[in-house]
Structure 1
């Protein structure tokens, strides 16, 4: 396992993040207490220290399981970088039991701290934008939590790029803490963040944490082999285009002699230099397969094949920039055409 700095901070995190949405059986599926403990043990043994959860995962059971794991005398809490989230509705007690507002933020964090059995959260995410709360209120509340010592760093998930940009700019103006990381759905089957979210993250030096980097298991090829799993037949992950991309992943995997998941995860990691895929696991063999992906570095020819088969339309202004000669790190053509005429 290698480590990288989270965003522009000095926090060292493993190059894979363990997603724990499947910890607990409250929803009728997932890893039980013993299984979850084994997965966290194995992840730590491999050098993994970055764990992702949320107050809403399995109705709080995910956080509770992690809290019980931390309560073990043999567990070094400070070894782990623990990320959790707030925003989504987690109970029916009051109208403010959801959303990005300060009241829900403070209430949610106190609940998470109790379930996790810890005095601090390493990384707190705004889980999803509610399109109601002023971003100024959000940034002030998050900075207050950092000043109180209850949160070390902040991040944001599933939010429009312009909102994230406004939040970081406002925080910079006020001398408050800025978002260190951005979490979005990103995979070979979901490349739309390349239009504005990833360029925005790059501009602010944010780490990118893709969720569903294997597209809910579709990119492992298991659905093409007859495993129905929990995916719906009408899912976009099973349409003609997705099947074509998955077959390309499987073909490249056969040439390397690795699992298709290794190819899909390697592609994600190689798209952005601050990329840390979130890999979920409810079974030990799933975790082992995900860890094997760290041994693979795709060569340029295979990267090109995957880029071409999964290519999306950038839309305006991305495609306009390309037509005008603007390329990554090269604005000469654009300058010649627009400035010089």
Structure 2
């Protein structure tokens, strides 16, 4: 059954309703060497909202602040019907150690800056953007709860944080009556399935809706990359910056290109585009609430939205799973082994609750 942007889902254990695809706005502005100019960004926003989309994702430092500023301008006439999500912790002023990080001073200053840039009185959802292993979790949770109590933030969430830290923060928040975490933003796509080891299962158990970023692996799953792109020097005009960025991150590998090849094959058989198949695959995971799409042009956005209509066969999913398979590692591989199943269950049939 196909979805639409106005087939809303609950975000984690909250009652907040969000679209099954979120609009990412890291492409609003060209300060990073790629992205959309103001008029083009406006078209992206309008297309998403006109189709029923209500979940928009940004961050305090995306495109050096242009993302929030443009979004604030575009959202002015739609503010109450939108779920605006932003993030804090990335360095806002180079050289100022307290302008970044998850601590209280950074948190409050970043939120105030986001409120100004977004031209709003409150944030619907605030993520801690990047974990840094320096700030006590109690300081973070208490600061987030204070912002919720002040009405400046409605819901709080985590991004790029180890699973064990998120789970203990949720336990502490519950025990102390502080605002619970309702979402977890992680990188998740057919090229990088590492979140399946602990992060996504943890999120399901602890009541966090997963909002994957980079669901197309930085564009690798769109069908635009070839084996010649294993070296950034082969990137063409207009895409050289983004391709160089991906190459620098180590995303362009023989394995990732092999995954992309199977995505293209499946897309051709389904009469879909590779981008639609890559996005639709993330939606197959029951732990995923809303992947974040990062289109740069209106045509890319229209293509991405077509992912909601993709219907896989079991064979297609099996082929994608096989080429993109990962080693779950200890203890998951041991716990799933035939030996442990034999010594703990024998021939017994035990149905687990779902």
Flag structure 2 segments of 5+ consecutive residues without an equivalent. Answer: 230-234, 349-354
Structure-2 separation of matches of 1:137 and 1:334: 44
How big is the alpha-carbon RMSD for the aligned residues of Structure 1 and Structure 2?
1.9
Deviation by residue 1:105-145 (Cα, 9 ceiling, x = unmatched): 00000010001000000000000001100011101100110
Equivalent residue, structure 1, for 2:132: 130
- For the structure 1 residues 325 and 41, does the alpha-carbon distance in structure 2 shift closer, same or farther, using more than 3 Å as the test? farther
Q: CA deviation at 1:303?
A: 0.8
2:345 paired with 1:336 = yes
- For the structure 1 residues 225 and 41, does the alpha-carbon distance in structure 2 shift closer, same or farther, using more than 3 Å as the test? farther
Q: CA deviation at 1:321?
A: 0.9
Q: CA deviation at 1:34?
A: 1.4
Asked if 2 retains the 8 angstrom alpha-carbon contact of 1:201 and 1:207, the reply is yes
TM-score by length of 1: 0.93
Q: CA deviation at 1:299?
A: 1.8
Equivalent residue, structure 1, for 2:171: 169
Equivalent residue, structure 2, for 1:45: 50
2:281 paired with 1:279 = no
What is the SS of the residue equivalent to 2:92? coil
- For the structure 1 residues 104 and 129, does the alpha-carbon distance in structure 2 shift closer, same or farther, using more than 3 Å as the test? same
- For the structure 1 residues 240 and 225, does the alpha-carbon distance in structure 2 shift closer, same or farther, using more than 3 Å as the test? closer
Equivalent residue, structure 2, for 1:85: 87
Structure-2 separation of matches of 1:249 and 1:131: 37
The number of equivalent residue pairs is 331
Q: CA deviation at 1:209?
A: 0.8
Structure-1 separation of matches of 2:292 and 2:327: 25
Q: CA deviation at 1:324?
A: 5.0
Flag structure 1 segments of 5+ consecutive residues without an equivalent. Answer: 327-331
Q: Which of the numbers 122, 132, 150 marks the counterpart of 2:152?
A: 150
Equivalent residue, structure 2, for 1:317: 331
Q: CA deviation at 1:205?
A: 2.0
- For the structure 1 residues 250 and 172, does the alpha-carbon distance in structure 2 shift closer, same or farther, using more than 3 Å as the test? same
Q: CA deviation at 1:28?
A: 3.4
What is the SS of the residue equivalent to 1:18? strand
Q: Which of the numbers 113, 116, 119 marks the counterpart of 1:117?
A: 119
Q: Which moved more, 1:21-30 or 1:246-255?
A: 21-30
- For the structure 1 residues 243 and 92, does the alpha-carbon distance in structure 2 shift closer, same or farther, using more than 3 Å as the test? closer
What is the SS of the residue equivalent to 2:99? coil
Equivalent residue, structure 2, for 1:270: 284
Equivalent residue, structure 1, for 2:352: none
- For the structure 1 residues 209 and 333, does the alpha-carbon distance in structure 2 shift closer, same or farther, using more than 3 Å as the test? farther
Structure-2 separation of matches of 1:223 and 1:154: 36
Asked if 2 retains the 8 angstrom alpha-carbon contact of 1:268 and 1:275, the reply is no
Structure-2 separation of matches of 1:59 and 1:234: 20
Structure-1 separation of matches of 2:31 and 2:215: 24
Q: CA deviation at 1:29?
A: 2.6
Q: Which of the numbers 254, 276, 291 marks the counterpart of 2:268?
A: 254
2:307 paired with 1:305 = no
- For the structure 1 residues 264 and 8, does the alpha-carbon distance in structure 2 shift closer, same or farther, using more than 3 Å as the test? same
Equivalent residue, structure 2, for 1:30: 35
Q: Which of the numbers 20, 25, 42 marks the counterpart of 1:20?
A: 25
- For the structure 1 residues 325 and 119, does the alpha-carbon distance in structure 2 shift closer, same or farther, using more than 3 Å as the test? farther
Structure-2 separation of matches of 1:287 and 1:144: 37
- For the structure 1 residues 225 and 294, does the alpha-carbon distance in structure 2 shift closer, same or farther, using more than 3 Å as the test? farther
Equivalent residue, structure 2, for 1:329: none
Asked if 2 retains the 8 angstrom alpha-carbon contact of 1:206 and 1:274, the reply is no
Q: CA deviation at 1:237?
A: 3.0
